[in-house]
Structure 1
Amino acid sequence: MPVEKMFDSLDIAVSGIKAQDRSIKSIFSNVANSRTVDAGSGKPYRRVEAILKAQADGLSGVEVSEMAEDMSDFTEILAPGHPNADAKGFLSMPNVNLPVEIMNLGLASRAYQANAAVLKRYQDMVNTSLELLR
């Protein structure tokens, strides 16, 4: 096996861990801001999502291509006493759906764990090889 190909599986696993870390951070941000009715611009917090894509040079891993805002409609609730409510008493809430975020967190966590398992197996293989050489 050529030396330059020896670390491909590690590079792929590390890129997967980095990408899932960004996904998990965006999910945490969404959950933390799920009740933020004014994100600084006078509008509610808008859900963000990490968009993943394959790295440009073939089978070398995954990367976050962008952090995209979810442009779906805001949820409106009746809250006539709230200072941010409109003239009819409706308040725009963030477009964050907590069950969806929990599901996405589960998927991202499993992908993170799978990539960490690849690194662990690689470490085990190296340790076994070193033991055989002793």
Structure 2
Amino acid sequence: MEYERTFAISASAMTLERTRVEIAALNLANANTVAGPDGTVYQPRRVVATTAFSDAVTQGLAAPTMSLEVAQQAPRMVYEPGHPLANATGFVAYASVDTATEMVTLMSAMRSYEANVAAMNTSRNLALKALEIGGNQ
């Protein structure tokens, strides 16, 4: 049997989910950052996977093709007239990161990662059991 493909699929998915966790953590870390003096504010990022499932099977140990997408969203304006970076009307521009969405993304990626670890362990146990059965004859 070809267990390498099963391991490759799980490893590929774990790489993708690890990247999703890292980007969600980055977005959460920048949720309360304000616009700098030049007026630019942090834009949240998203991971976009472009490798289809059938491609992962045929590619073997190849990693998934991922890209980062930057969401061009208007900053979240909060009325804080005492803030040193407030504009003339008293509003401060914060990053437009939705913390609830990022937490859901984080939990979903963690659960998917755990599921792929379980699938890889099951495949490993099946391979070891097949070797054990074959070795007793």
**Contact 1:39–1:45 under 8 Å retained in 2:** no
Structure with the bigger RCO (C-alpha within 8 Å, sep 6+) is 2
Partner of 1:94: 95
Deviations 1:74-103 (A, max 9, x none): 110001121221111111111111111111
Question: Percent identical across equivalent pairs?
Answer: 22
Contact 1:50/1:64, CA 8 A, preserved across alignment: no
Structure-1 residue corresponding to 2:14: 17
CA contact (8 A) 1:78 1:89 kept: yes
Matched, 1:45 2:42: yes
Cα gap change, 1:41/1:22 in structure 2, threshold over 3 Å: closer, same or farther?
farther
Structure 2's unaligned 5+ residue stretches are: none
- The alignment's TM-score, normalised by the length of structure 2, stands at 0.83
Task: Kindly indicate whether the alpha-carbon contact (under 8 Å) linking 2:35 and 2:93 is maintained by their aligned counterparts in 1.
Answer: no
Tell me the CA shift for residue 39 of structure 1. Answer: 6.1
Check the 8 A contact 2:47/2:69 in 1, yes or no: yes
TM-score (norm 1): 0.85
Aligned to 1:65: 66
Gaps of 5+ in 1: none
**Structure 1 residues 41 and 49, CA, compared in 2 at 3 Å: closer, same or farther?**
farther
RMSD between aligned alpha carbons? 2.3
Q: 2:109 is matched with which residue?
A: 108
Secondary structure in structure 1 of the residue aligned to 2:55: coil
User: Secondary structure of 1:81's match?
Assistant: coil
More helix per residue = 2
In structure 1, C-alpha distance between the alignment counterparts of 2:34 and 2:23, rounded to whole Å = 18
Q: 1:41 to 1:116 in 2, by over 3 A?
A: farther
Indicate the residue corresponding to 2:29 in structure 1.
32
For 1:18, what is the secondary structure of its paired residue?
A: helix
Structure with higher strand content: 1
Q: Secondary structure of 2:8's match? A: helix
Matched residue of 2:48: which SS? strand
Partner residue, 2:118: 117
State how far apart, in whole Å, the 2-side matches of 1:9 and 1:59 are.
10
Are the counterparts in 2 of residues 81 and 89 from structure 1 also a CA contact under 8 Å?
Answer: yes
